[in-house]
Amino acid sequence: MSCFKLGAVCGVLCLLVGQSVPASSEAPTPFVSVDIYIDSKVPVAAWQFEFAGHDGKIKVVGIENGASDVFGNAPYYDGQAISTGSIEKIIVADFSLHPKRDLPRGRFRIATLHLMIPDAGRPSFAAQLIVAADFAGHRIYPAISTQISTGSKQ
Amino acid sequence: MAYDEQDLDALPDKLVVALKNRDTATPLISTKVDRVVIQLAREHFASRARKLREATPLRYALAASVLLAVLLLPDGARIDPAGTGIYWDVDRSGQIDIADVLALARSRGPSISTADLDAFAMKIVSLQAGVDAS
């Protein structure tokens, strides 16, 4: 076999081998964690917020509790809706019956949302505080903010 | 007026008899009887007035109670379709939210179970249609 023919055969073999290995054409789906903070001058006994993505480009896949122990292990949210994997917004709330001296104040994390971002790029979402209350049940108006804590790709 | 017996002879006998029969003593009502009758009448009408005075405040109280109940019932109050009877605007803020769960827990204390509070909170965060959480 001449060199030319040998080279041609090798080239064909390389092409065949290359085609047998599927190319990873899809970008990895990113997951991000978003911390939800409120900043209150008054000790907080209850809070409720709504979180939604813009243009339906995020999916909520999990929620975990915040930093304060007085609000229990996990906040209240619609776990059944999350399990369907199709929700684009979530309502999260919690309350505490702890004594007033134990209630958190200032800026503290109330929850962390785990999101799936189907499209590559910067996630767009917003958190809106629906209600917050102090120990006596009076409505208070702390500021709410979000912060992307970690990102992972799978 | 005294009349002469002889004058009656000119009248028919039937008429004479009839006139004589009607010539009876007029019944006299004594003062005692008069007082008794008046007293009975007064008592009768007094009892009627008393009944009327008793009934009117009762009706007014009933009407006021109904009006107060209508005014004091909070707008938007809902009863839990599941029948727990606790899903409502406890703090009368105009919306049902987690603050109502807190208010309910504080007002009921140990008389309300954690399970009921959890159920109330879960209804608030539910994304199902028909649950007005805000």
Residue B134 Cα, gap to closest chain A Cα (Å): 7
User: Is B119's Cβ below 8 Å from some Cβ in A?
Assistant: no
Entry pTM: 0.61
Q: Percent of chain B, pLDDT > 90? A: 22
Cβ atoms of residues A141 and A70 within 8 Å: no
Count Cβ–Cβ pairs < 8 Å, chain A vs chain B: 73
pLDDT tens readout for residues B53-63: 766 777 888 88
* Confidence (pLDDT) at A73: 79
Residue B68 Cα, gap to closest chain A Cα (Å): 25
Q: For residue A142, is pLDDT > 90?
A: yes
CB contact under 8 A, A130 and B133: yes
CB-count burial class (<10 Å; 0-12, 13-18, 19+) for B112: middle
Q: Of A35, A36, A37, A45, whose CA–CA distance to A140 is shortest?
A: A45
Tell me the H-state helices in chain A: 3-20, 79-84
* Confidence (pLDDT) at A13: 66
First CA to last CA across chain B, in angstroms?
101
Looking at the DSSP bridge assignments, the partners of residue A131 are A48
How far is B104 from A137, CA to CA, in rounded Å? 10
Q: Of A29, A27, A26, whose CA–CA distance to A123 is shortest?
A: A29
pLDDT tens readout for residues A7-31: 666 666 655 555 554 444 455 567 8
Residue B117 Cα, gap to closest chain A Cα (Å): 10
Q: In chain A, what are the helix, strand and coil shares in percent, each to the nearest 5?
A: 20, 45, 35
The ipTM estimated for the assembled molecules is 0.76
Mutate to test the interface with A, among B127, B128, B131, B132 (most CBs of A within 10 A): B127
Average pLDDT, integer, range A116-143:
88
CA distance readout (Å), A40 to A25, A36, A107: 47, 13, 6
pLDDT tens readout for residues B85-113: 668 888 889 999 999 999 999 998 899 99
